[in-house]
Amino acid sequence: MSDVVLESQPDVLIDHDRVEQGDLRTEEMLVNMGPQHPSTHGVLRIVLRTDGEMVLEAVPHIGYLHRCAEKIGEAVQPYQYIPYTDRMDYLAGMNNNQAFSIAVERLAGMEVPPRGQALRVIFAELNRIASHLVSLGTYGLDMGAFTPFLYCFREREMILDLFEAACGARLTYSYITIGGVHDDVPDGWIDRCREFLDYFETKIDDYNNLLSFNHIFIKRTGRVGVISKEEAIAFGLTGPPLRGSGIRFDLRKALPYDGYEKYDFEIPIAEPPGTGVIPQGVEVGDCWSRYFVRVLEMTQSVRIMRQAMDQLPDGEFRAKKGTTVKLPDDEIYVEVENPRGQLGFYVRGDGSAIPYRVKARGPSFSNLCITQHCAKNVLLADVPAIIGSIDVVMGEVDR
């Protein structure tokens, strides 16, 4: 009796005509990726709507690291606010210090001495390299490659040693400050920095051999999460995600600050396969392109730093003014090229020493907006590849 039921049961459960017409659907499931998932960068929660292994929709949820950073800027003097900028994008503290300092200086009409500007450029580019090394190393971990992480963090430790020698800190520096830099570099520091650059340049080939041109890595990141030029502009992307889509735009060239117009360097962008060293299996605007732009940017940062050290003038490293700066009844908005894109600070003064309004434009916050668009109809394993290629820092997203 049971045999008869079993033979007839498949015809009852499965309508073969509907299968051929594609009407049957599996049940969808909502999956929380984060806020502590190992393949997400920081306390980011992504709600995935999945159908089997396919991700139909990915919605980012933020705010787990909100600390009222902008409101604090309206309660303290600009000098006191510098340490708070370190903690927004904690992988690029020097660049954050620089952005806020320039905004206050331009609002207050303060001139930075040439030596102070050159030292700012050196430390900003050194921090750009350190930030990109974290991005490269952790991205390799996301894709299942452990060794590049060790290589990248080995070189990053050397950079942190240089930072510690100059300002005593290894993560939150408060070194670039209002009027220039907090202290001059110690004796022998420039020579140590040159030695590091000579060593570091040879290691970029190691990163490429280990990760960039690794066949498995290209398969995981090539033609995944493609963002066209039009989409990059429409979503307000900046930094490597924008240049990874083939758009050659960098504030260091477009709107130079701290003397960047004096340095000769290029703006790397993603190029089609077969162009130069670009391998087959990738596409302009994909995850691999955004990753490789950062590799190329490190080479350009080395180039800028060498010129800055060769041209480093003598003299004062900081404007001769007291710690209290009166902000006029006016407003200003300044953007700089952070490792993750355009970091902007809006400062409004009212004649007192404390800003009336402080607002930050974070590149990670804007770049994260495209997640819902490009992490659609992809495999579940592609979501960490897409998020990692955008390279967000949640302290700056949430603020």
Q: Give the start-to-end residue ranges of the domains of the chain.
A: 73-398
What integer pLDDT is reported at residue 92 of this predicted model?
92
Do 61 and 47 touch, CB atoms closer than 8 A?
yes
Q: How far is CA 382 from CA 136, 172, 225, 282, 311, in A?
A: 17, 33, 8, 15, 45
CA atoms of 44 and 371, how far apart (whole Å): 12
What integer pLDDT is reported at residue 12 of this predicted model?
40
Per the structure block, which two tokens stand in for 346? 């809006």
Q: For residue 245, which of 237, 256, 253, 255 has the smallest C-alpha distance? A: 237
Residues in the chain, how many?
399
Per-residue pLDDT of the chain (399 residues; tens, 9 = 90+): 344 333 333 444 444 454 455 555 678 899 888 787 656 677 888 999 998 889 999 999 888 888 899 999 999 999 999 999 999 988 999 999 999 999 999 999 999 999 999 999 999 999 999 999 999 999 999 898 999 999 999 999 999 999 999 999 999 999 999 999 999 999 999 999 999 999 999 999 999 999 999 999 999 999 999 999 999 999 999 999 999 999 999 999 999 999 999 999 999 999 888 777 888 889 999 999 999 999 999 999 999 999 999 999 999 999 887 667 889 999 999 999 999 999 999 999 999 999 999 999 999 999 999 998 988 889 998 999 999 999 898 889 888
Buried b (16+ CB within 10 A) or exposed e, 58-71: bebebeebeeebbe
DSSP state of 261: G
DSSP state of 348: E
- Looking at CATH, the fold of the domain delimited by 73-398 is given as Cytochrome-c3 Hydrogenase; chain B (1.10.645)
What integer pLDDT is reported at residue 6 of this predicted model?
37
What integer pLDDT is reported at residue 193 of this predicted model?
96
The answer to whether the predicted template modeling score (pTM) of the entire model surpasses 0.85 is yes
Per DSSP bridges, beta strands 378-379 and 54-61 are: antiparallel
